[in-house]
């Protein structure tokens, strides 16, 4: 009996210690890994940056532990990166624990055995990314302009009426220079809020549609018809339905002569349906017209392949009309939000491009018009001009021109193109990928201890990360180099792992993904709907937080406060805003730590750090889609996006408050909530509430149970 009591006491002590052992210094992909993935936990010891005062010395031995029974299933040593040197891009010293050889599906965590410290839990599963992809795509539904977000398609926290559909808004939109002239009215409804602002920019909208269709054509079998959008169940993959929503809007922007309106300027409010200001459209320009010509032509191919012949014919003719107008008007430039152009206040971001940008849009249009129409004139134009691309001219593949490089690679797949052109494109791409320090050399030489090297961090670095992953994956996608396909796939997936938590902040760069496996997610983004001070401001602080799955901009070492903070911002109240929160980070940090989870407006200008963009979103979606399973074990059409029979806790991990969501179909008034330690010691007991203060609990893992006389729900959560 004495031995039994001793054993029980030891078990209690071990488990009480275990509940205190979550570590910020052991980082993993918080969603998980495919069985075939490289699986490497990064152990970090901060040296430079906001966390330099913290330190961590890893133990020699690490274990992969089955979370269901706490059994060690794989052990190994932590290997120092670069002989223990500090990495300047992150300001950290790094060790790697590689458990790639372990492939059994399940839920796990990584344990530092000597220090009794552990990572977040994660899964190994073939379809681990399928639900994540679905949520990322669904952000476009929440970005739709002029479309009500209603249950069951919108989750209850993010319902809203159709925006910009009132008097003098999108269906009655007038020219920017004649807001009182009814004769200029056009229906320009549809499309998406471009980013955190609600404006619609034709060049960028066209790009988003194009890349959605490209993602579909690259791997059509991974795209399902059950993403819980209104079109789900119509027999068309939902990514194509979403592209058509954008394409219908793009068609409305074309004038009868083929030219394209460049921008639609929208009013702003939170929620979007409360925006009442007049909508105004900008002038036409050549860049938008070339760009739209390429998207119309490519759309004609894709929709024809899906049996939508009439729609495909409409797109083909729209493409030809756009090409003809732009050929006759090759240099029509129109800058929005430019006082010198009389367009101040129209839009926010600058959609106009330079001569090179127009040339690249025309090249892409020529490629797709040749594929669609088989007319030699388009092929001749392409092959006479493709060497103007920087990839060919500079022998240089880099993520900031991923779109232009994709145009060249896509051209190599079109039947009937010249063999010498194909060979030149393929040889140049391979040459740069193999010989340039930022490409395979960075992968081979393990330049980045977080395994997702970027040569330059700037505004939108998460977008650049995704595009960099795509430049690697193109080696496999286009079968450019059989000897390096496996390396290309591994290198590309590392950028997914970075965005899912393998980074110095131990953060998932997606909003509010706690219900889908994220443990520390982006809780705020700069977005008009989810702006500072609204009910959708911050997960775990405001009533709702932002909707799931949005990609924020990412670390940006060029971030700074508005220049007025160095002198005067116009009033004492405005000056006080300059110091209302600390912005170090992102100021004064190593590149990878130049991020802050915040959404403050002027003069702190968080948009260069945390604003979302449909461009960031589609780049991430395209990259992630390469690694999803073709099988679909997710929820059926027109059901909510989480299991409605489960208890959901968020955020998880929590700091001060844990929020509770029980299935909507049950009456929760008679439920009691208890929070217990992992050995069953009851710590909190209360009636059912939407949220519970857990600030007095120590760091560690706990169990929350909600129960009445007939039914109970339970879920683990972590206090950090």
Per-residue pLDDT tens over the stretch 613-657? 999 999 999 999 999 998 765 433 333 333 335 677 767 677 777
Q: Pull the structure tokens for residue 670.
A: 């008679």
Number of domains comprising the chain: 3
Residue 669 has pLDDT above 90, yes or no: no
Per-residue confidence band for 679, with pLDDT thresholds at 50, 70 and 90: low
Task: pLDDT band for 313, please (50, 70, 90 cuts).
Answer: very high
Judge whether residue 76 has pLDDT over 80: yes
- Report pLDDT for 372: 98
pLDDT at 671: 86
What are 99-143's pLDDT values in tens digits? 999 999 999 999 999 999 999 999 999 999 999 999 999 999 999
For residue 265, is it within any domain?
yes
550 in any annotated domain = no
Indicate the helix (H) or strand (E) that contains 120.
Answer: none
Output the CA torsion sign for 164, 166, 169, 170: positive
Task: Say what the pLDDT of residue 347 is.
Answer: 98
Q: What is the mean pLDDT of residues 187-215?
A: 98
Mark whether 164 and 91 lie in a shared domain. Answer: no
Quick one: average pLDDT of 510-515? 97
548's tokens: 């799931």
pLDDT at 644: 39
Q: Is residue 685 part of a domain?
A: yes
* Parent domain of 66: 2-124
Strands of the sheet with 682-687, listed across from one edge: 682-687, 672-677, 700-707, 712-719
Cα dihedral: 341, 342, 345, 347 (round 10): -50
Domain end residue (candidates: 353, 382, 409): 353
For residue 632, the model assigns a pLDDT of 65
Residues 224 and 154 in one domain: yes
Residue 459 domain-assigned (yes or no): no
Q: What's the pLDDT band for 668 if we cut at 50, 70, 90?
A: low
Which residues, listed in sequence order, are joined to residue 170 by a DSSP beta bridge? Answer: none
Specify the 3-state DSSP secondary structure of 547.
coil
Quick: pLDDT tens for 83-95.
999 999 999 999 9
DSSP β-ladder status, 117-118 and 106-112: antiparallel
User: Do 109 and 137 belong together in one domain?
Assistant: no
DSSP reduced 3-state for 340: helix
Q: Which pLDDT value is given to residue 665?
A: 53
The two beta strands, 200-201 and 682-687, are: unpaired
What percent of the chain stands above pLDDT 90?
85
In this predicted structure, what is the pLDDT of residue 666? 59
186: pLDDT strictly greater than 60: yes
461 alpha-carbon distance from chain centroid:
11
pLDDT band (50, 70, 90) for residue 710: confident
β-pairing verdict for 71-77 and 521-522: unpaired
- Judge whether 658 lies within some domain: yes
pLDDT at 715: 80
Residue 646 is predicted with a pLDDT of: 65
Residues 292 and 190 in one domain: yes
Residues 46 and 147 in one domain: no
230: pLDDT strictly greater than 90: yes
Residue 278 lies in a domain: yes
- Asked if 114 and 172 sit in the same domain, the reply is no
Q: What confidence score (pLDDT) does residue 246 get?
A: 98
H helix or E strand, kind and range, residue 44: strand 40-46
Shared domain for 235 and 269, answered yes or no, is yes
The Cα 692–Cα 620 span in angstroms is 34
Mean pLDDT to the nearest integer, 436-459:
98
pLDDT tens-place string over residues 577-610: 999 999 999 999 999 999 999 999 999 999 999 9
110 in the same domain as 90: yes
Per-residue pLDDT of 142-171, as tens digits, reads: 999 999 999 999 999 999 999 999 999 999
Determine, yes or no, domain membership for 335.
yes
Mean pLDDT to the nearest integer, 435-461: 98
Q: Which residue, chain included where needed, has tokens 């290309």? A: 488
- Does residue 293 share a domain with residue 150? yes
Q: What is the token pair recorded at 242?
A: 């979403």
Predicted pLDDT at 639:
34
Are 114 and 139 in the same domain? Answer: no
Report the range of poorest mean pLDDT among 306-310, 529-533, 701-705: 701-705
CA pair distance 22, 109, nearest whole angstrom = 10
Gap between the Cα atoms of 84 and 89, Å rounded: 15
Q: Measured in Å, how far apart are the chain's first and last C-alpha atoms?
A: 37
3-state SS, residue 573: helix
Q: Identify the sign of the CA torsion 16, 20, 23, 28.
A: positive
Q: Give the CATH number of the domain where residue 93 resides.
A: 2.60.40.10
| Mean pLDDT, rounded, for 537-547 | 96
Q: What is the average per-residue pLDDT within 241-255?
A: 98
What CATH number does the domain containing 665 carry?
2.60.40.1930
Please give, one letter per residue, the 3-state secondary structure of 50-83: CCCCCCCCCCCEEEEEECCCCEEEEEEECEEHHH
Whether residue 2 is predicted with pLDDT greater than 90 in this model: the reply is no
Residue 374 has pLDDT above 60, yes or no: yes
Residue that terminates a domain, selected from 335, 353, 371: 353
pLDDT tens track for 268-303: 999 999 999 999 999 999 999 999 999 999 999 999
Specify the higher pLDDT residue, 1 or 529.
529
Same domain, 659 and 707: yes
At residue 653, the pLDDT reads 73
Check residue 14 and give its pLDDT.
39
Tell me, yes or no, whether 162 and 39 share the same domain.
Answer: no
Binned at pLDDT 50, 70 and 90, residue 701 comes out as confident
* Domain stops at, among 353, 385, 401: 353
Q: Is residue 440 part of a domain?
A: no
Count of Cβ atoms closer than 10 Å to residue 388 Cβ: 13
Q: Across all residues in the chain, what is the average pLDDT?
A: 93
Q: Residue 118: which of 54, 27, 34 has the closest Cα?
A: 27
**What is the b/e burial string over 217-252, where b = at least 16 CB atoms within 10 angstroms of the residue's CB?**
beeeebbbbbbbbbbbeeebbbbbbbbbbbbebbbb
Beta-strand pair 508-511/521-522: parallel
CATH number of 184's domain = 1.50.10.10
If you search the block for the tokens 């909707």, which residue do you land on? Answer: 547
Lookup: tokens for 395: 């022998």
The answer to whether residue 387 scores a pLDDT higher than 60 is: yes
Q: Give the pair of three-digit tokens for residue 113.
A: 């055995």
Q: Give pLDDT, residue 172.
A: 98
């Amino acid at each position: 009996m004495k031995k039994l009591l001793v054993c029980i006491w030891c078990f209690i002590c071990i488990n009480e210690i275990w509940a205190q052992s979550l570590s910020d210094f052991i980082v993993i992909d918080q969603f998980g890994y495919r069985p075939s993935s490289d699986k490497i936990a990064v152990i970090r010891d901060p040296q430079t940056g906001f966390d330099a005062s913290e330190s961590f010395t890893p133990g020699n031995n690490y274990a992969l532990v089955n979370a269901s029974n706490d059994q060690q299933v794989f052990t190994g040593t932590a290997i120092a990166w670069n002989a223990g040197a500090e990495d300047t891009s992150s300001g950290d010293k790094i060790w790697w624990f590689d458990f790639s050889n372990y492939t059994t599906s399940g839920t796990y965590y990584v344990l530092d055995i000597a220090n009794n410290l552990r990572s977040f839990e994660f899964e190994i599963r073939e379809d681990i990314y399928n639900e994540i992809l679905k949520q990322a795509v669904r952000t476009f539904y929440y970005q739709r302009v002029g479309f009500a977000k209603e249950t069951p398609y919108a989750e209850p926290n993010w319902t809203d009426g159709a925006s910009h559909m009132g008097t003098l808004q999108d269906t009655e939109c007038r020219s920017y220079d004649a807001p009182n002239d009814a004769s200029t009215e056009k229906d320009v409804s549809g499309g998406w809020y471009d980013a955190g602002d609600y404006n619609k920019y034709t060049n960028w909208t066209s790009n988003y549609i194009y890349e959605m269709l490209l993602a579909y054509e690259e791997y059509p079998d991974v795209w399902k018809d059950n993403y819980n959008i209104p079109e789900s169940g119509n027999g068309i993959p939902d990514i194509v339905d979403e592209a058509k929503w954008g394409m219908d809007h793009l068609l409305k922007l074309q004038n009868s002569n083929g030219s394209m309106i460049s921008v639609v300027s929208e009013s702003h409010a939170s929620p979007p349906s409360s925006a009442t200001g007049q909508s105004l459209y900008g002038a036409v320009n050549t860049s938008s017209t070339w760009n739209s010509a390429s998207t119309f032509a490519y759309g004609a191919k894709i929709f024809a392949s899906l049996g939508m012949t009439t729609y495909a014919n409409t797109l083909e003719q729209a493409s030809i009309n756009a090409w003809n107008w732009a050929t006759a008007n090759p240099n029509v430039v129109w800058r929005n939000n430019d006082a010198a152009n009389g367009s101040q206040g129209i839009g926010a971001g600058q959609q106009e491009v330079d001569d090179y940008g127009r040339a690249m849009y025309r090249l892409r249009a020529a490629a797709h018009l040749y594929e669609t129409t088989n007319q030699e004139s388009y092929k001749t134009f392409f092959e006479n001009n493709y060497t103007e691309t920087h990839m060919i001219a500079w022998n240089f593949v880099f993520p900031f021109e991923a779109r232009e490089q994709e145009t060249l690679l896509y051209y190599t797949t079109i039947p009937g193109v010249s063999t010498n052109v194909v060979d030149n494109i393929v040889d140049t791409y391979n040459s740069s990928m193999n010989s340039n320090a930022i490409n395979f050399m960075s992968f081979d030489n393990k330049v980045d201890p977080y395994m997702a090297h970027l040569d330059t961090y700037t505004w939108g670095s998460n977008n650049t990360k995704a595009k960099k992953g795509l430049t690697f994956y193109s080696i496999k996608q286009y079968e450019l180099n059989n000897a390096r396909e496996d390396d290309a796939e591994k290198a590309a997936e590392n950028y997914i792992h970075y965005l899912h938590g393998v980074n110095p902040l131990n953060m998932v760069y997606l909003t509010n993904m706690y219900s889908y496996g994220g443990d520390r997610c982006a809780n705020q983004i700069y977005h008009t709907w989810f702006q500072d001070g609204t009910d959708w401001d911050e997960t775990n602080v405001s009533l709702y937080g932002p909707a799931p799955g949005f990609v924020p901009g990412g670390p940006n070492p060029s971030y700074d406060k508005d220049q007025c903070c160095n002198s005067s911002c116009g009033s004492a109240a405005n000056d006080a805003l300059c110091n209302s929160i600390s912005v170090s980070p992102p100021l004064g940090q190593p590149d990878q730590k130049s991020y802050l989870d915040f959404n403050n407006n002027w003069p702190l200008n968080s948009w260069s750090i945390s604003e979302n963009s449909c461009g960031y979103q589609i780049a991430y979606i395209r990259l992630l889609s390469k690694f999803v399973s073709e099988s679909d074990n997710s929820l059926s059409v027109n059901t909510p996006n989480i299991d409605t029979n489960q208890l959901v806790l968020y955020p998880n991990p929590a700091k001060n408050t844990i929020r509770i969501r029980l299935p909507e179909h049950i009456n929760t008034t008679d439920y009691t909530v208890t929070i217990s330690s992992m050995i069953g010691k009851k710590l909190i007991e209360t009636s059912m509430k939407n949220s519970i203060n857990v600030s007095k609990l120590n760091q560690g893992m706990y169990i929350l149970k909600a129960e009445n006389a007939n039914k109970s729900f339970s879920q683990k959560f972590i206090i950090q």
